[in-house]
Structure 1
Amino acid sequence: MKNRILIVDDSFYMRTMLKNMLTDAGYEVVGEAANGQQAVEMAVQTTPDLITLDVILPDNTGLDVLKEIRKEQPDVKVVMCSAVGQEVIVNEALESGASAYIVKPFSEEKVLEIVGSALQEGASDAAQA
């Protein structure tokens, strides 16, 4: 069975790029959300194995969305993605339950490495990119 992934990013370009990377690697993209409200709703509807979650969203912060999703789905893996690589934000994301944090721009190899690590057992120990 393919791993199911939900992509959350306010940029259509980034969602498309991630979707292409992930589907080409054999993952099933079960949905795309452009804001935090959509992300929480779609996470409940699609029950993904992993969510890629942008830190900066138009209606909320990715950190707040992460905390909300964790209430509903404590076991879902979440990989934070952002152009903001500030150590404080990275640490807060990891402390809030993110499996990993990828700083944009990123390579396809790095995305697939981090997603693969997050989906494996012990994903909470996945390396920060």
Structure 2
Amino acid sequence: MKYSFIELNDLPNEILMIILKKLHNVEILYSLIDVNKRLNTIVHDPIFTSYLTLMTSSSNCLFDRLTDTILDRFCLQILPKIHHKIEFFNLESSSMERILLLTNYPNLYGLGLYNLASETARDLFTGKIFASINY
């Protein structure tokens, strides 16, 4: 055992799930989706796809949008694949329109919006922001 190496792929699915549950869903999806067939199946599990926080938070409770690189990958590759599994989003207001206008989220029932200016909130709740959505 002194020189024994165990790789991630050697672990049973149950152990991988225990490990992955300790991480943020966004990190798991960004890092492991489309890596290989086995990991793809695991990360498509509803435990990782139903509740997404697509923003970062700091220790002083400030919220920032994801970096453009991460947000681009989510909008172009990840969200289109899992859109039907998403039930709840936490979004930072500057990326809200881009993410929500990307596709239809048929099972979305909850939305947390952060850093939302009062004028944007007014436009959102009076239908001015999403008036161009065609479902």
After TM superposition, the score normalised by the length of structure 2 is 0.38
In terms of fraction of residues, the more strand-rich structure is 1
- Structure 1 or 2, whichever has the larger Rg, is 2
After TM superposition, the score normalised by the length of structure 1 is 0.39
Q: Which has the higher contact order (CA 8 A, sep 6+)?
A: 1
